[in-house]
Amino acid sequence: MTPDDPTTPRDALPVNPTLAPHTAPAADHRPAEQGPAPDHLPPAPAVPQPSGDGLSSAEVTALVGGADPSMMEANLALESAEGLDPTTES
C-alpha cells in the first residue's frame, strides 16, 4: 500500500472553528448605489491621434524589453523546430 492508495485509511481533516455559515443580511441593509455626478469635473487630458507610422526598432525594443541573447537563441531554436526559416521576416 502507498500513501496515495484510496483504500489506505486517512485521518480526518481538522475543522476550522472560525468558519461560520452565511447569514441573511440585516433588515437595515441597503445595497450601495451610484451617487450623483460632481458639479464640476476637470477637462479630460487630450489623447494624441495615432500617426499611422510604424514603430522604429528602438521603440519596439523599449516596449518589449532589451534584446537578451539567450532569448534570441531560444526563439531561433523554436522557429527551426517548427519548420520556420528564422532568417526570413514574417
- pLDDT exceeds cutoff 70 at 76: yes
Give the pLDDT mean for 51-79.
77
Residue 7 contacts residue 1 (beta carbons within 8 Å): yes
Q: Specify the amino acid at residue 2.
A: T
Angle (CA) 21 22 27, round 5°: 140
- pLDDT exceeds cutoff 70 at 68: yes
Which is more confidently placed, 60 or 80? 80
Kindly report, residue by residue over 2-57, the tens digit of the pLDDT.
666 777 777 888 888 888 877 776 677 777 888 888 888 888 888 777 778 887 77
Q: Give pLDDT, residue 42.
A: 85
Gyration radius of the chain's alpha carbons: 30
Residue 11 backbone phi and psi in degrees, to 5: -75, 150
C-alpha count within 13 angstroms, C-beta hemisphere, residue 34: 3
Q: Give pLDDT, residue 89.
A: 62
Chain Cα centroid distance, residue 86: 30
- pLDDT exceeds cutoff 80 at 59: no
